[in-house]
Structure 1
Amino acid sequence: MAPTLIDTPRLRLSELDEGDAAFALELLNTEGFLQHIGDRGVRSLDDARRFLREGPCASYAANGFGLWKVTRKSDGATVGMSGLVRRESLPKPDLGYAFLPAHAGQGLASEAGAAVLGHAFGVLRLAQVLAIVSPDNAGSVRVLQKLGMREWGLREFDGKMLRVFTLAAPGHE
């Protein structure tokens, strides 16, 4: 088990690894993930291990951050992932998150997102974090607004129009 990177009152965030393949396979094939984030072509445990190796794990090595596993402290259940993603199509890292449907509506995305932003600004010393969201994903828009992110505008990504949100580090407004 990877050491805890970020602790919140209810959650632990730690690095994902290939041992999390079953979780990744389940999460990446939920209706919400497919609809709002996209189909990553993950259909087997081997696909999930490849996704983890080439996505989050490669990002940890290259950037010092990535999407992290979110585990509930009360029972150790893996409930989702949240973290920072570095995309060539964006000028700054962006906040990303996805949770299993059984754990939606419990404030976990907001709690994890706030912790990730705190880490981004406090530990990583980033001046700004972005977020991208499908225009019809009202739940994620509410989370981003709750976190204090402001809408920056619409931008095309891979042929899809997405809403872009931004938050500056304290003192960088």
Structure 2
Amino acid sequence: MTILETERTIVRHATHDDAPFILQLLNEPGWIRFIGDRNIHDLDAARSYIDEKLLASYLKNGFGLYIAQDRETGTPVGLCGFVKRETLDDPDIGYAITEAFQGKGYAFEINNALINHAREALGFKRIFGFTLPENTVSVYLLTKLGLTYERDQDVNNSGEICKVFVKVA
């Protein structure tokens, strides 16, 4: 199901056909470093991740993380969308662009459209974003998207303190 389209991308629900992409993305060095190892090491684990994390969120919350694909080629460029966590009062925007498409403006283009979608279609009043302090690219992106630094917090109850940003939608 298509959620939205941008100039260069289509943002849609994930399916089991995306398992090879999920396997690749979740094992890229940037994902491991800044998001964490999810122990997704084969296609069966990738399909389980799609079921348990992505599809389950669509059903439970009416939103989740989506596949963003290049409009012309159909090649997946990233995983972007919203997550509802117990540690935050409102959903947060999450994103990961595959290494092959980083540095080309996809993260801003997709997430800017997603923020508009959250306000207009989902009725979000606030959106959080968070990142590890050393992920300076994400700090820059969140700021460019109009989110403002609010506090430091262990968002995932993992012992890692993140910079938490917020935007009134």
Please say if 1:160 is aligned against 2:133. Answer: no
Distance in 1 of aligned mates of 2:17 and 2:83: 21
Which residue, 90, 93, 115 being the options, matches 2:91? Answer: 93
Q: Indicate the residue corresponding to 2:134 in structure 1.
A: 136
Large movers: runs of 4+ above 4 Å: none
**How far is the alpha carbon of 1:26 from its aligned partner?**
0.2
Partners of 1:74 and 1:143 lie apart in 2 by: 25
1:103 aligns with 2:101: yes
Q: 1: distance between equivalents of 2:2 and 2:123?
A: 20
Is 1:28 aligned to residue 26 of structure 2? yes
Residue 91 of structure 1: how far off its partner (Å): 1.2
TM-score by length of 1: 0.94
Alpha-carbon deviation of 1:74? 2.1
In the TM superposition, 1:34-49 aligns within 5 A as: 34-49=32-47
Deviation sequence 1:37-65 (CA, Å, 0-9, x none): 11111111111001110001000000000
TM-score of the superposition, structure 2-length normalised? 0.97
Q: Deviations over 1:43-100 (max 9, x none)?
A: 1111100111000100000000000000111211111110001111211100000011
Aligned match of 1:67 in 31, 51, 65? Answer: 65
Partner of 1:77: 75
For residues 3-57 of structure 1, give each alpha carbon's deviation from its aligned partner in whole angstroms, at most 9, with x where no partner exists: 3210111111000011111000000000000000111111111110011100010
Runs of at least 5 residues in structure 1 that lack an aligned partner in the other structure: none
Where 2:36 maps in the other structure, the secondary structure is coil
User: Match of 1:115?
Assistant: 113
Query: Which SS does the other structure have where 1:61 is aligned?
Result: helix
SS at match of 2:48: helix
CA distance in 2, matches of 1:167, 1:90: 13
* Partner Cα distance (2:19, 2:9) in 1: 20
Distance 2:114 2:48 in 1: 24
Amino acid at match of 1:132: F
2-side partners of 1:26 and 1:120: how far apart?
28
Residue identity (%): 37
Q: RMSD between aligned alpha carbons?
A: 0.8
* Uncovered stretches (5+) of structure 2, i.e. residues with no partner: none
